[in-house]
Amino acid sequence: MGPSRRQVGNSHAPKASTTAYAPLLWGFSKAGSRPAGRRNAAVHPQRWRPENIPAFLPEDWYNRHLTPLADVSPRFTRRTAALKLVQMAAGGSLGEAAGFLGIASTDKTWHGKSGICTVTGRVHAAARQQADPLAFETALQALARELDDPATPLVNYRKRREALKTWHINQETWAGLTARLPHAPGSRRPDFGDCQRQAASIYVWVQLTSGEHHFAPRPIEAAQPPEIQENWKRRQRNAIWTRMHTSPPGTRYSSLKAELRSLAASLARTIDPARPSQSREARRPISADVTVIAIWPSGAISVPFSCSIDRYL
């Protein structure tokens, strides 16, 4: 008989979301596990759900709600904030939240999750050293309220991650894309091989999921022989990624990024559900003055009155 499992998730979550929340709603198995601290859901959001949280807190969210922590990289703070928002809404352990966001394995064992917990512990320790020890938690509560505001657009980042799990830029698309890049006359044509194609695919993945490139799928790389994979990992991949983010405007990499952002926008329209032209909250009944003409044997009479027409803008 297998080890028992205990549900710890948000009891207010819709039943249809149970499958999506599975990595969060169930605890680690006893065999070979070292459960992190468990918690119940701290908030019961009306609009947003864990799938609306990206694995890496967007920079504008971070700038508006959080303050830099002493001796802690903003990258770690943004990652921890995303993990805590998922826990706030769905409960469960830190390791389960990491699995849900795709930055750790989704199994119920401790393996591979120690680094996540170490980084999160550093962020929490630094947060408690602030003038206001609760400022970090207060900021997350404020962000949760913002996501519940009907004026805040929501993105299903989990759906995007799932859709892009095995995606990569195919060779035909890559050939057409690179052919459009500017080329200086007389200079040697740059190499746009599979390693560059993999880095470009990762760039698109980051644009769509707001995740960290370290955790992006690498299907093109995975199909290479082990020695090529190692070469890409140690040399080429990081060098290409650095050039894409540090090249000055007007360079070939700037043009490449513009092409990739356009590709990401096209994919977003394919993956995301069509949005109604107006939210339900924004629609209002039309009030109008109506004149009714009644026909009687003795003649016609008109009766003016005001009413709300059962139609919405």
pLDDT for residue 254: 85
Question: d(Cα 86, Cα 83) in Å, to the nearest integer?
Answer: 5
Domain, as residue range, for 236: 177-271
Q: What is the pLDDT of residues 1-33, one digit of tens each?
A: 333 333 333 333 334 333 443 333 333 333 334
Question: d(Cα 148, Cα 48) in Å, to the nearest integer?
Answer: 6
Q: Which range is most confident: 120-124, 128-132, 168-172, 232-236?
A: 168-172
State the CB neighbour count (10 A cutoff) for residue 284: 10
Number of domains forming the structure of the chain:
3
Say if 159 falls within a structural domain: no
Indicate whether 242 and 295 sit together in one domain: no
What does the block give as tokens for 273? 């559900």
* Beta bridge mates, 300: 295
Question: d(Cα 246, Cα 224) in Å, to the nearest integer?
Answer: 28
Indicate whether 102 and 144 sit together in one domain: yes
Choosing from 98, 121, 154, the residue where a domain stops is 154
DSSP state of 42: S
Q: Which residue has the higher pLDDT, 299 or 23?
A: 299
What does the block give as tokens for 189? 């044509």
Indicate whether 221 and 124 sit together in one domain: no
Say if 295 falls within a structural domain: yes
Indicate whether 201 and 256 sit together in one domain: yes
Say if 223 falls within a structural domain: yes
| Residue 119 scores a pLDDT above 60 | yes
Question: d(Cα 65, Cα 27) in Å, to the nearest integer?
Answer: 31
Q: What is the pLDDT of residues 222-278, one digit of tens each?
A: 999 999 999 888 777 777 777 777 766 657 788 899 999 999 999 999 999 876 544
Element (H, E) at 299: strand 299-312
Say if 306 falls within a structural domain: yes
Indicate whether 194 and 301 sit together in one domain: no
pLDDT for residue 245: 74
Indicate whether 150 and 29 sit together in one domain: yes
Say if 163 falls within a structural domain: no
Indicate whether 38 and 108 sit together in one domain: yes
What does the block give as tokens for 62? 């971070």
Half-sphere exposure in the Cβ direction for 165 (13 Å, CA): 7
Indicate whether 102 and 226 sit together in one domain: no
Say if 109 falls within a structural domain: yes
Indicate whether 53 and 93 sit together in one domain: yes
pLDDT for residue 38: 52
Name the band, by pLDDT with cuts 50, 70 and 90, for residue 112. Answer: low
- Cα angle 30, 35, 41 (rounded to 5 degrees) comes to 115
Say if 3 falls within a structural domain: no
Indicate whether 184 and 238 sit together in one domain: yes
pLDDT for residue 140: 95
Please provide the DSSP assignment of 114-128 as one string: HHHHHHHHHHHHHHH
Indicate whether 69 and 123 sit together in one domain: yes
| Residue 282 scores a pLDDT above 60 | no
Indicate whether 252 and 292 sit together in one domain: no
Question: d(Cα 11, Cα 22) in Å, to the nearest integer?
Answer: 13
